[in-house]
Chain A
Amino acid sequence: MIPDYVFFTCDNILLAWSVYAVLLSGNLSFAQAAFMSIGCYAAGILTTQYGFPFYASIPPAMALSAIIAILFGFPALRIRGIYLILVTVGITFIVRVALENMTITGGVHGLFGMSGADQWDAVGAVILVGALLYMVSRSPLQRLLDVVREDDQVAAGLGVNLTYVKLVSFAAGAAIAALAGALYGHYLTFVRPSNFDILVSIFCALYVILGGINNMWGPAFGAAFMTLLPEFIRALQGWRPTVFGVAIIVLLLVRPDGVLPFRTLSARWGRRG
């Protein structure tokens, strides 16, 4: 049981960070289940049918997911706000139907025989991605993302290439989701397209909202909290969506910025006190 807790907590933290990476440039994505499934299936097909070792299958899977994200995102990221949310919902459905209809992915019956991931791989992935996000949060890139998120017209006026910044963050989110997907598939050893339902996308986005969107610790907290809480409080088992829904509504009413709303401390922030 304990390895399961560790694995799913880490995997959900990765998914929450993948939403956060997209949110850094101001877009909320409900497409993470799609990119997770792309990563899962790409890595799974590489290991089961082409004999790749597990670790070697991850980079191509992440790259494929990022490329598909760019293909979808290049036209779509000009759309904003609620409209972009609709497009990302659409991406989740499109990818799922595609997986169900392709023969190489096993269709609705799913993909078998992956193995090789354990909970320590997930922990390692969280540390790696976390370190990367932390480096971004302390780099000038964070300021660029801040201006794009807070006011994209100002950003455009400053000569920032909005499309490019949004695309990079969308693709980075897709790559992180693909990593989570590859781990997920190789831990469960068996996946079906229905594992990557729109509900998964919704949950990933809500982890981030629960924890707070202003820093990388909020999403991690939200994901860990919502993964572990129902496991440790017996009475809540089986009531996960309800508990989660109530938590989100209450939180949005009393603390709209999330549980951990502070900014990540950066060098610049420290100097200004």
Chain B
Amino acid sequence: MIQQILNGLIIGSMYALVAIGFTLVLGVLDRLNFAHTEIFMLGGFVGLVVIQAGGPLWLTLPVAFGVCGGMGLVVELVCFRRIEGDARITAALSSVAAGLIIDDLLQKVYGTDPPSLPLPGYITDAGVRFLDTHLTYLDLLIVGVTLALMLALQLFVARSRTGRAIRAVADSHVAASLLGINVRRVTQQVFFLSAALAGVAGVLYALRTDIANLQAGLTFGLKALAVMAIGGMGDVRGAVIGGLAVGVLEGLAFYWGLGGYSDLVVWIAMILVLLVRPAGLFGGGVHVRELRA
């Protein structure tokens, strides 16, 4: 049982990383970026390319960070920049279309069978033991990287000059631009960050499952979207707690022999949370007001 809870926490930390990307874009720019799920999936393939090219394992993370962040900028340019104002659903749909394109093009290159990642055994098999549980070094790496990224993001948003600009834009686009903040540049920064985090999560997910999977976007990625809704729209803390909670619940579903239903957990939890607290468990701000309007 403890093993399943730990597994849940590891999966959950990846959910959280993807959900943070969703929630950043939604919280700051009031846009839902469906292409985020496919950028997450792309991260796995970036990792595959790096490893196949003979690169060391650690190199996959910064490369995915950069490449997927760049893809985030492309998505922002193509799907979001021209669609202004109140057209949330239009923007969401055009990002759905962008996701379709990314997915289809990758499928053209790699085919429908997920290619496997050649990984050294010392990271996937060896590990530490305590209390009857077994954690591989890979598991520790995943948790370490996600925790480090979350902390770095928190510090970046709370302390840095750019972070202050991001918070100002989240509060009001108009006021921020009157104060001399370049809203377009902040928008790009937010998209880059969000996509880069998804890319790293994609590498970690591909490492954990041993394959770069084309389906990852529409399964794992969309579940992270539900996690975001559970935690609260636009709330980073909610995304983290929601991700870990959902991961643990799924782990427990396996423990109780309901593995076939584990995909249900997150969606049912999301619907229940939205019914009781439409803004999510930790949500606040503009989204609550919009829902009550």
**Contact call B225/A86, Cβ cutoff below 8 A:** yes
- Chain B residues with CB below 8 A from A242, complex form: 100-101, 104-105
Nearest Cβ on chain B to A210's Cβ, whole angstroms: 10
Contact with A along B94-112 (1 / 0, CB 8 A): 1011111101110010000
8 A Cβ contacts from B38-84 to A: 78-79, 82-83
- Chain B residues with CB below 8 A from A98, complex form: 264
**Contact call B97/A244, Cβ cutoff below 8 A:** yes
- Chain B residues with CB below 8 A from A113, complex form: none
Label chain B's interface by main secondary structure: helix
Label chain A's interface by main secondary structure: helix
| Whole-angstrom CA separation of A114 from B265 in the bound complex | 32
What's the interface size class on B, roughly? 35 or more
A273 within 8 A of B: no
A143 within 8 A of B: no
A6 within 8 A of B: no
8 A Cβ contacts from A73-123 to B: 75-76, 78-83, 85-87, 89-91, 93-94, 97-98, 100-101
- Chain B residues with CB below 8 A from A101, complex form: 260-261
What's the interface size class on A, roughly? 35 or more
**Contact call A94/B97, Cβ cutoff below 8 A:** no
B271 within 8 A of A: yes
Which of B79, B278, B291 is close to A249, meaning CB atoms less than 8 Å apart?
Answer: B79
| Whole-angstrom CA separation of A163 from B88 in the bound complex | 23
27 pairs of residues in contact across A and B, judged by CB atoms under 8 Å: A79-B278, A79-B291, A81-B88, A81-B89, A82-B92, A86-B274, A90-B271, A91-B267, A97-B261, A98-B264, A101-B260, A101-B261, A198-B222, A205-B96, A209-B93, A239-B104, A239-B108, A242-B100, A242-B101, A244-B100, A245-B100, A248-B93, A248-B96, A248-B97, A249-B94, A249-B98, A252-B93
Beyond A79-B278, A242-B100, A248-B97, 9 additional contacts (C-beta under 8 Å) are A76-B274, A81-B88, A85-B89, A86-B274, A94-B267, A153-B293, A242-B104, A245-B101, A249-B94
